[in-house]
Structure 1
Amino acid sequence: MSVRILGIETSCDDTGVAIYDTEAGLLGHALYSQIATHQEYGGVVPELAARDHIRKVIPLVDAVLAKTQCDRTHIDGIAYTCGPGLAGALLAGSAVAKGLAFAWDVPAVGVHHMEGHMLAPMLENPAPEFPFVALLVSGGHTLLAEVKGIGQYRILGQTLDDAVGEAFDKTAKILGLGYPGGPAISKVAELGDPTRFKFPRPMIDRPGMTFSFSGLKTAALNTVNKHELDQQTIADIACAFQDAAVETLVIKCKRALQETHINRLVVAGGVGANRHLRKELQTMCDKQRAALFFPRIEFCTDNGAMIALAGAFRMHQASDDLSFQVKPRWPIDTLLPV
């Protein structure tokens, strides 16, 4: 018998809602982006993010119900992002989810945000099979994991400082490209000369799969301070930064595939939408005879569909208890296996 899950995502600056059916798949989803709200500040303002979620969650739930021709009686459970993320934003979504669960008399389950990202490629056809290596790259996270099943995660390496998405945002701010930095740098880098500047590839000369991106950001800042920033120089610096970040990620992914002897790589998170990264990873995987899996572009960034899917796998952990506790920090390797 199929189960329909309403998923609610409010971990940062995107409000996402979706309905997932365990037999029919994704029925519908909606997303509200707060980019315009935070652009003038050059980054996410937590208090503004929480307030926007409060305003937008219920209208999005109504919109998805209407789009899918569902009503409250068709929903068997609610999944919400419990962490990691911004505390206020998580509280906004969790409170709404618990309130709806009480009103609709259905159970609710808190979902790990990064597990949602990791499973997002399973919304596609073909979906990856276990085991696989997962690269999670976003504004707040950069890690490689060996994935043997739901909740069976072994961390292979993660960042010591800035996440790669955070490094993109900070470098874009240095270059005056605005927020969010990933798409801005990617666009400008297409016009850059890849031979003019050469930035370091952090930690590739050391064994293991640990990342560090703060030095790469500093290299970009030092280069900016030494040159007049005309349009071509901005493009050249953006190109050098993107090349260094992407090559570093590709090298570490190759190591992960070789050391685990797994021939499937899953890439998820907002930076997974970067076209240069997708191209270079595909080239590497072709040489390694490994299959590469991405979610569709719209599911690389935060969304309700991935939370509904992850919730479907964990609905047996759902509770009718109205109390809840969000987890702004929540290591993914502490999750229980399913």
Structure 2
Amino acid sequence: MTISPVYILAIESSCDDTAAAVLQNDVVLSNVVANQLIHNEYGGVVPELASRVHQQNIVPVIEASLRKANITKEQLSAIAFTQGPGLMGSLLVGSSFAKSLSMALAIPLIAVNHMHAHILAHFIDEEGFDKPTFPFLALTISGGHTQIVVVHDFFDLQIIGETTDDAVGEAFDKSAKILGLPYPGGPLIDKYAQLGNPKAFVFTKPKVPGLDFSFSGLKTAILYFIQKNVLENPNFIEENRNDICASIQHTIIEILMDKLKMAVKETGINQIAIGGGVSANSGIRSTLKAAEKRYGWRTFIPKFEYTTDNAAMIGIVGYQKYLHEKFENTSVISKARIQF
């Protein structure tokens, strides 16, 4: 018996990137992202501008994804979209388009949690990338989230640790801003850190009980440290940029690793998968790979293009939900905040 392939069109519009992808089962046929560079001059994402640019980008991005996948819209099996979390105006652009297209084509509509998608991105069939087996621990690290999640199966996820204030991505970006680096600053800290001494400066790690995180105190400590030293030497940042960045990155990675080690000890699970935009950080990636030999873990790091916001990860959740017939009707609403 021949089984017809499942074609999922996925739409991601949670923040400032308009993305669309087409998956044939768990294989990515196309993954198109339109970035919004306009936010760079404001030092952060402006929600109203983001939603307007999504409206301009969504049709050409979806057309490009279908064209690159070499299929027609009539071949689609279902439409998956990001329901949340994210910026409400941005989410509404993607959800409205997805609802309209699913109605026009009379095919199922699938709502996807953005953070769920970061975790299940590991299940995209990609040559050279292994898939974790259940159960595993997921460390989701992004501009808006920092979580440790026990993943029992595709739809049974339990958050066992999360940030009590700022997310790790915000800690990177705000630290970069303190150093006078342009937005987005996280990748620049990573770039300079590779040239510096990670133990040149010591920043106190916050003492947070259990598996939860906190980064607001670290941000404040970095601010006071820079202000004090610049007062004594106006050229302090320029003369020590690489070492400052390396020390900041080293501290943040230690905070993440301390909690991960604790989570492994408490759960007995030694499979670790990372996801989210900050998982693109080279220091975090190399530290996690080194942990395989050091602690006997199995670690899973997604392909670089599936770390930042993209629609392929929405599509893989869409595919699993399609197999389990987890569909929505057009009354489904977008949510700026949403849990698994």
TM over 0.5: yes
Q: Place the TM-score, normalised by the shorter chain, in its bin.
A: over 0.9
1:221 corresponds to 2:223: yes
**Counterpart in 2 of 1:135?**
139
**Correspondent of 1:29 among 31, 39, 58:** 31
**Counterpart in 2 of 1:169?**
173
* Structure 1, unaligned runs of 5 or more: 333-338
What TM-score does the superposition give when structure 2 sets the normalisation length? 0.93
Cα distance in 1 for residues equivalent to 2:219 and 2:67: 45
**Counterpart in 1 of 2:39?**
38
1:183 corresponds to 2:187: yes
**Counterpart in 2 of 1:241?**
248
Cα distance in 1 for residues equivalent to 2:199 and 2:292: 25
Cα distance in 2 for residues equivalent to 1:64 and 1:270: 22
1:260 corresponds to 2:261: no
Q: Identity across aligned pairs (percent)?
A: 44
Deviating more after overlay: 45-54 vs 137-146: 45-54
SS in 2 for 1:144: strand
* Structure 2, unaligned runs of 5 or more: none
What TM-score does the superposition give when structure 1 sets the normalisation length? 0.93
Whether the aligned pair in 2 keeps the contact of 1:171 and 1:217 (CA below 8 Å) is yes
Whether the aligned pair in 2 keeps the contact of 1:216 and 1:241 (CA below 8 Å) is no
Whether the aligned pair in 1 keeps the contact of 2:192 and 2:242 (CA below 8 Å) is yes
SS in 2 for 1:239: helix
Provide the aligned C-alpha RMSD in A: 1.3
SS in 2 for 1:314: helix
SS in 1 for 2:180: coil
Residues 61-107 of structure 1, C-alpha deviations (whole Å, 9 max, x = no match): 11111111100111010000000100000001001111111122211
Cα distance in 1 for residues equivalent to 2:239 and 2:35: 30
Cα distance in 2 for residues equivalent to 1:324 and 1:207: 37
**Counterpart in 2 of 1:149?**
153
Cα distance in 2 for residues equivalent to 1:194 and 1:95: 47
Cα distance in 2 for residues equivalent to 1:22 and 1:284: 32
Cα distance in 1 for residues equivalent to 2:195 and 2:30: 37
Amino acid at match of 2:120: L
Cα distance in 2 for residues equivalent to 1:207 and 1:81: 33
Cα distance in 1 for residues equivalent to 2:222 and 2:76: 49
**Counterpart in 2 of 1:76?**
77
Whether the aligned pair in 1 keeps the contact of 2:138 and 2:275 (CA below 8 Å) is yes
**Correspondent of 2:339 among 331, 335, 338:** 331
Cα distance in 2 for residues equivalent to 1:232 and 1:147: 45
Report deviation, 1:155: 1.3
1:208 corresponds to 2:215: no
Cα distance in 2 for residues equivalent to 1:213 and 1:151: 29
Report deviation, 1:285: 2.9
- Equivalences for 1:250-329 in 2 at 5 Å? 250-315=257-322, 316-319=325-328, 321-329=329-337
Residues 23-76 of structure 1, C-alpha deviations (whole Å, 9 max, x = no match): 6x1111111112x21111111111111111111111011111111110011101
Cα distance in 2 for residues equivalent to 1:107 and 1:331: 23
SS in 2 for 1:209: coil
Report deviation, 1:150: 1.5
**Correspondent of 2:130 among 118, 122, 126:** 126
Report deviation, 1:286: 2.1
**Counterpart in 2 of 1:335?**
none
Whether the aligned pair in 2 keeps the contact of 1:192 and 1:232 (CA below 8 Å) is no
Amino acid at match of 2:19: G
Cα distance in 2 for residues equivalent to 1:200 and 1:299: 32
Whether the aligned pair in 2 keeps the contact of 1:254 and 1:284 (CA below 8 Å) is no
Cα distance in 2 for residues equivalent to 1:128 and 1:301: 20
Aligned residue pairs total 327
Cα distance in 2 for residues equivalent to 1:149 and 1:75: 26
Amino acid at match of 1:220: I
Report deviation, 1:288: 2.0
**Counterpart in 2 of 1:86?**
87
Residues 127-176 of structure 1, C-alpha deviations (whole Å, 9 max, x = no match): 11111000000000000011100121121110000000011111111111
Amino acid at match of 2:141: V
Cα distance in 1 for residues equivalent to 2:135 and 2:89: 35
Cα distance in 2 for residues equivalent to 1:304 and 1:109: 13
Report deviation, 1:207: 4.7
Report deviation, 1:238: 1.6
Whether the aligned pair in 2 keeps the contact of 1:250 and 1:284 (CA below 8 Å) is no
Cα distance in 1 for residues equivalent to 2:239 and 2:21: 42
